[in-house]
A and B are shown apart, each in its own frame.
Chain A
Amino acid sequence: MSEKKKKTTIILFSGDYDKAMAAYIIANGAAAYDHEVTIFHTFWGLNALRKEEQVPVKKGFLEKMFAKMMPRGADKMGLSRMNFAGVGPKLIKHVIKKHNAMPLPQLIEMAKEQEVKLVACQMTVDLLGLKQEELIDGIEFAGVAAYLADASEGNVNLFI
């Protein structure tokens, strides 16, 4: 196949486990279609890229508060509905296991394996007081221009 690859771009704005799961399932599917796939993580969606462990970085008071209040990594994210103060995600993970579906952290791993480009929006990384060291390896940092460059040639373009 010599023709130019099709492109799928997804903006992951949401920090909800279920919505992020949908985004990553579509991304993995698009990669199987041989698309060049990019997921732009912005605002709460950035939490999907956080490392689970605490990384020692210098931060101001506000940034520390943000870091404490936001989920540390994909596995800690809550549900958009029926979160029930954290019981909901436990239930969902139980049924995911029961149905042999892929939990979010594995979907992210699979996406990386399939060479899905994971991008963190630099402006919101700064706004939320996150540092590059706190985010998982192998991601890129970019802004609206990089996103538009990909999306304007995109065949599938989603905002989640």
Chain B
Amino acid sequence: MNVAKMVDAKGLSCPMPLVKTKKAIDELTSGQVLEVQTTDKGAKNDLAAWAKVSGHKLVDMKEENGVLTFWIEKA
């Protein structure tokens, strides 16, 4: 996957992963992919819901050693 930008939100709690993701996606153009890494367990539902409502596409998600990684394609 061609990742245009990466957000490291590891160790941060709600609402920071979301706020950082939103800021980063604003800097991308349509079709570009953002990678977000977080350790906030609530982010699994949070970022999925946010992407859905904002129209962005959650391309993929994985969980490894307590780190959640999301790939979001900007609408």
> CB within 8 Å of B: which residues of A?
1, 25, 28-29, 31-34, 99-102, 110, 114
Contact = CB atoms under 8 A, between A and B. Distances in A.
Given A32-B15, A32-B18, 7 more contacts: A28-B15, A32-B19, A32-B50, A33-B22, A33-B50, A33-B54, A114-B19
Interface of B: 11-16, 18-19, 21-22, 50, 53-55, 75
Nearest to A34: B54
Shortest beta-carbon contacts, A-B, top 8:
A32-B22, A101-B13, A28-B15, A29-B15, A32-B18, A100-B11, A25-B15, A32-B19
Nearest to B20: A32
A148 to B, nearest CB: 26
A99 B75 CA distance: 32
Contacts of A101: 13-14
Nearest to A110: B19
B55 to A, nearest CB: 7
Contacts of B13: 99-102
B48 to A, nearest CB: 14
A1 B53 contact: no
Given A32-B50, A33-B50, A34-B54, A25 B21 contact: no
